[in-house]
């Protein structure tokens, strides 16, 4: 069951990223994220407690990926 939860969470977070890229953080609508992820708002609330927890996780993931990309770019520049 835990792999299924992870799959749903990944769909939700991917949907959140798309909505943030399209509309920004202030324009994000949880209902749109739920529709894109083919789940309910209640499922999002169960997994992330509330909108703030959900946004914190989504933005944290985006931040971590950005830092990783910057580090990879720096490493590539130093090896050339």
What are the residue ranges of helices labelled H in the chain?
2-27, 30-37, 41-48, 51-79
- The domain spans of the chain are 2-79
Residue 1 — very low, low, confident or very high, per pLDDT cuts 50/70/90? very low
Residue 78 — very low, low, confident or very high, per pLDDT cuts 50/70/90? low
- Does the pTM exceed 0.85? no
Distance CA 50, CA 64 (A): 21
What pLDDT does 42 receive?
Answer: 93
Residues 6+ apart with CB under 8 A from 10: none
CATH top class, domain 2-79 = mainly alpha
Kindly tell me if the per-residue pLDDT of 31 is higher than 80.
Answer: yes
């Amino acid at each position: 069951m835990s792999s299924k939860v992870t799959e749903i969470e990944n769909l939700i977070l991917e949907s959140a990223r798309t909505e943030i890229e399209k509309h920004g953080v202030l324009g994000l609508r949880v209902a749109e994220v739920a529709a894109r992820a083919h789940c309910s708002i209640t499922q999002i609330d169960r997994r992330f407690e509330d909108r703030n927890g959900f946004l914190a996780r989504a933005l944290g993931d985006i931040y971590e990926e950005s830092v990783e990309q910057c580090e990879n770019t720096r490493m590539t520049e130093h090896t050339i």
